Amino acid sequence: MSAQDHAGHDHTHGGAAHGSLKGYLIGFVLSVILTAIPFWLVMDGVIDNKQATAVIVMAFAAVQIIVHMVFFLHMTPASEGGWSMLALIFTVILVVIVLSGSLWVMYHLNANMMPGLHEMRQMP
Amino acid sequence: MTSTAITAGAEPVFHLEEEHAHAEGGSTMLGFWLYLMSDCLIFAMLFAAFGVLGGNYAAGPAPKDLFDLGLVAVNTTMLLLSSITYGFAMLTMDKGRVGETQSWLAVTMLFGLAFLSIELYEFAHMIHEGATPQRSAFLSSFFTLVGTHGLHVTFGIVWMVTLMVQVARHGLIEANRRRLMCLSMFWHFLDVVWIGVFTFVYLMGTLR
């Protein structure tokens, strides 16, 4: 088989598009910005309200994950005939259920069964 | 699909439909993506465990006492740089340049090793200060989550060395291209997991 054969063959699979130099560079610059801002916010304590900082940091992480998916992992709704996207959506749903379910249930368990401060001090 | 023809008194006959040919490796990418998604679930469980236990210090050290965010920022930079250099390796692979692909892979590997060294230094430092995995539930879940990610990076580097040997021996044949594309997905996936780690473990832990 010739090199062109390989190229044509790869192309028909479509799923593993390789992206372009421009795509990788855009992804890189975006992810550097999206990483630097949360670190700056936390390290320098720019916002006094910790909860607000946490929400902003999480929002940056969510955006950065999408940036990586698009520019580095080359996810498109059409890759592998839509099956990768379907698997991804299924996984995201499971992850959301696992994370929010665990945190929610365990928070309430903690809140209801937390020993009083007095007992806490006597613990080793 | 099978079709059956049953005539009275005769044994049922099954006709197997002819299966059309599948090109070798035609479904590898999807299969590998499914593996990554199941790996993602492992990390989701570990994140959930850390989310639940991350505040249980057992009167031991808290994230604020342990984490050096400057070091974590350097570590994150290493992983980000390794992601873009792997991207360059893929681009040169597309053009069929063996030498350049190998050099970009080597650069990626060096960034990966730098990441691991910094992480191991951080772990050693913590353990030296008495913050061992046995110290508290927070530290157990921390070491499990971050350690699992570090182990993935380690195996990614082992895989990368293997592929560099393969490419050196056989060149950029189709099988090697397919393997490099799988490793590319694996490597970028680890970077995505690291976004979760530095956000939820390090940044949010310091805020706590």
Give the mean model confidence (pLDDT) for residues A77-92: 90
* Residue B78 domain-assigned (yes or no): yes
CB contact under 8 A, A9 and B185: no
By percentage, how much of chain A surpasses pLDDT 70?
Answer: 77
Of B80, B82, B84, B97, the C-alpha closest to B177 is B97
Q: How many domains does chain A have?
A: 1
Question: pLDDT band for position A123 (50/70/90)?
Answer: low
* Residue A94 domain-assigned (yes or no): yes
Q: Which chain A residues touch B199 with a CB distance below 8 Å?
A: 38, 57-58, 60-61
- Residue A101 has what pLDDT? 94
A9, pLDDT greater than 60: no
Q: Could you give the CA distance from residue A8 to residue A14 in angstroms, rounded to a whole number?
A: 10
Question: pLDDT band for position A119 (50/70/90)?
Answer: low
* Residue A3 domain-assigned (yes or no): no
* Residue A8 domain-assigned (yes or no): no
Of B52, B109, B163, B140, the C-alpha closest to A106 is B52
Residue with tokens 């598009």: A17
A12, pLDDT greater than 70: no
Q: A 5-44 residues with CB below 8 A of B? A: 6, 9-10, 13, 15-16, 18-21, 24-25, 27-28, 31-32, 35, 38-39, 42-43
* Residue A10 domain-assigned (yes or no): no
CB contact under 8 A, A24 and B84: yes
Cβ-Cβ contacts under 8 Å for B125 (sequence gap 6 or more): none
- Residue A33 has what pLDDT? 96
Helix axes B98-128, B69-94, angle to 10 degrees: 160
* Residue B182 domain-assigned (yes or no): yes
Q: Could you give the CA distance from residue B126 to residue B148 in angstroms, rounded to a whole number?
A: 17
Q: Are A106 and B52 in contact (CB under 8 A)?
A: yes
Give the mean model confidence (pLDDT) for residues A96-103: 94
- Residue A63 has what pLDDT? 97
Of A63, A99, A92, the C-alpha closest to B52 is A99
Q: Phi, psi at residue A72, to the nearest 5°?
A: -100, -45
Of B128, B37, B118, B108, the C-alpha closest to B73 is B118
For residues B188 and A107, the model is more confident at B188
* Residue B37 domain-assigned (yes or no): no
Which residues form the domain of A109?
Answer: 15-122
A124, pLDDT greater than 70: no
* Residue B152 domain-assigned (yes or no): yes
Which residues form the domain of B153?
Answer: 66-207
- Residue A115 has what pLDDT? 63
* Residue B202 domain-assigned (yes or no): yes
- Residue A10 has what pLDDT? 40
A53, pLDDT greater than 60: yes
CA distance, residue A41 to nearest chain B CA (Å):
9
CA distance, residue B18 to nearest chain A CA (Å):
22
CB contact under 8 A, A31 and B51: no
* Residue A85 domain-assigned (yes or no): yes
Q: Could you give the CA distance from residue B65 to residue A76 in angstroms, rounded to a whole number?
A: 42
Q: How many domains does chain B have?
A: 1
Q: Could you give the CA distance from residue B77 to residue A3 in angstroms, rounded to a whole number?
A: 36
* Residue A2 domain-assigned (yes or no): no
The CATH number assigned to the domain holding B102 equals 1.20.120.80
Question: pLDDT band for position A78 (50/70/90)?
Answer: confident
Of A72, A88, A76, the C-alpha closest to A20 is A72
Of B123, B51, B205, the C-alpha closest to A42 is B205
Q: Helices in chain B by DSSP H: which ranges?
A: 28-53, 63-66, 69-94, 98-128, 137-170, 174-196, 204-207
Question: pLDDT band for position A114 (50/70/90)?
Answer: low
Question: pLDDT of B147-167, one tens digit each?
Answer: 999 999 999 999 999 999 999
Q: A 104-123 residues with CB below 8 A of B? A: 106, 123
Q: Between β-strands B2-5 and B13-16, what pairing exists: parallel, antiparallel or unpaired?
A: antiparallel
By percentage, how much of chain A surpasses pLDDT 90?
Answer: 56
- Two structure tokens written together for A42: 């936390």
Residue type, B103: S
A15, pLDDT greater than 90: no
* Residue B41 domain-assigned (yes or no): no
Using 70 as the pLDDT threshold, list the residues of chain B that sit under it: 1-10, 19
Question: pLDDT band for position A19 (50/70/90)?
Answer: confident
CA distance, residue B10 to nearest chain A CA (Å):
43
- Residue B195 has what pLDDT? 96
